[in-house]
Structure 1
Amino acid sequence: MDRQTTGNISTLIGGILAALIVFIGFNSFIIINPGQAGVLSILGKAQDGALLEGIHFKPPLVSNVDVYDVTVQKFEVPAQSSTKDLQELSASFAINFRLDPIQVVNIRRTQGTLQNIVAKIIAPQTQESFKIAAARRTVEEAITQRNQLKDDFDNALNERLEKYGIIVLDTSVVDLNFSPEFAKAVEEKQIAEQKSQRAVYVAKEAEQQAQADINRAKGKAEAQRLLAETLKAQGGDLVLKKEAIEAWKEGGAQMPKVLVMGGDSNGGGIPFLFNLNELER
Structure 2
Amino acid sequence: MKNLLKIAVGILALLFLLALSPFATIPAGHRGVLTTFGKPSDEVYSEGIHWVWPIAQKMHKVSVAIQKGEGDGDAASKDLQTVHTKIAINYHVRPDAVVSVYRDLGNEPGERIIIPSVQEAVKAVTARFTAEELISRRSQVRDEIILALKERMARHGLVVDEFSIVNFNFSKTFNEAIEAKTTADQLKMKAERDLQRIEVEAKQKIARARAEAEALSLQRQQVTPELLRLRETENQAKAIDKWDGRLPTTVGGVVPFINVNK
Specify the code of the residue in structure 1 equivalent to 2:173: E
Find out whether 1:218 has 2:218 as its counterpart: no
Q: Give the equivalent residue in structure 1 for 2:26.
A: 32
Residue 160 and residue 231 in structure 1: after superposition, are their counterparts in 2 closer, same or farther (change >3 A)?
same
**C-alpha contact 2:30 2:61 (8 A) present in aligned 1:** yes
Residues 95-143 of structure 1 show CA distances to partners (whole Å, capped at 9, x for unaligned) of 11112222222222222133xx212211110111112332232222222
Specify the code of the residue in structure 1 equivalent to 2:123: K
Q: Give the equivalent residue in structure 2 for 1:195.
A: 187
Q: Give the equivalent residue in structure 1 for 2:221.
A: 229
- Where does structure 1 lack aligned partners over 5 or more consecutive residues? 1-6, 243-258, 260-281
**C-alpha contact 2:23 2:52 (8 A) present in aligned 1:** yes
Residue 77 and residue 13 in structure 1: after superposition, are their counterparts in 2 closer, same or farther (change >3 A)?
farther
Find out whether 1:19 has 2:12 as its counterpart: yes
Q: Give the equivalent residue in structure 1 for 2:107.
A: 113
**C-alpha contact 2:62 2:102 (8 A) present in aligned 1:** no
Q: CA deviation at 1:70?
A: 1.7
Find the aligned partners of 2:202 and 2:233 in 1 and give their Cα distance: 36
Q: Give the equivalent residue in structure 2 for 1:70.
A: 64
Find the aligned partners of 1:214 and 1:61 in 2 and give their Cα distance: 101
3-state SS of paired residue (1:235): helix
3-state SS of paired residue (2:60): strand
| More divergent stretch after superposition (230-239 vs 89-98) | 230-239
**C-alpha contact 1:50 1:102 (8 A) present in aligned 2:** yes
Backbone CA RMSD of aligned residues: 2.9
Q: CA deviation at 1:14?
A: 5.5
Specify the code of the residue in structure 2 equivalent to 1:112: G
Q: CA deviation at 1:207?
A: 1.8
Q: So what's the TM-score if we normalise by structure 2? A: 0.76
Residue 107 and residue 241 in structure 1: after superposition, are their counterparts in 2 closer, same or farther (change >3 A)?
farther
Q: How does 1:88-127 map to 2 (within 5 A)?
A: 88-114=82-108, 117-127=109-119
Q: CA deviation at 1:58?
A: 2.4
Residue 34 and residue 214 in structure 1: after superposition, are their counterparts in 2 closer, same or farther (change >3 A)?
closer
**C-alpha contact 2:82 2:171 (8 A) present in aligned 1:** yes
Q: Give the equivalent residue in structure 2 for 1:171.
A: 163
Find out whether 1:141 has 2:133 as its counterpart: yes
Specify the code of the residue in structure 2 equivalent to 1:24: L
Find the aligned partners of 1:239 and 1:19 in 2 and give their Cα distance: 138
Q: How does 1:29-68 map to 2 (within 5 A)?
A: 29-68=23-62
The aligned length equals: 234
Q: CA deviation at 1:160?
A: 0.8
Residue 23 and residue 237 in structure 1: after superposition, are their counterparts in 2 closer, same or farther (change >3 A)?
farther
Residue 179 and residue 236 in structure 1: after superposition, are their counterparts in 2 closer, same or farther (change >3 A)?
farther
**C-alpha contact 1:79 1:126 (8 A) present in aligned 2:** no
Specify the code of the residue in structure 2 equivalent to 1:83: S
Specify the code of the residue in structure 2 equivalent to 1:214: I
Specify the code of the residue in structure 2 equivalent to 1:113: N
3-state SS of paired residue (1:49): strand
Q: So what's the TM-score if we normalise by structure 1? A: 0.72
Select which of 130, 151, 162 maps to 1:159.
151
- Where does structure 2 lack aligned partners over 5 or more consecutive residues? 235-251, 253-262
3-state SS of paired residue (2:79): coil
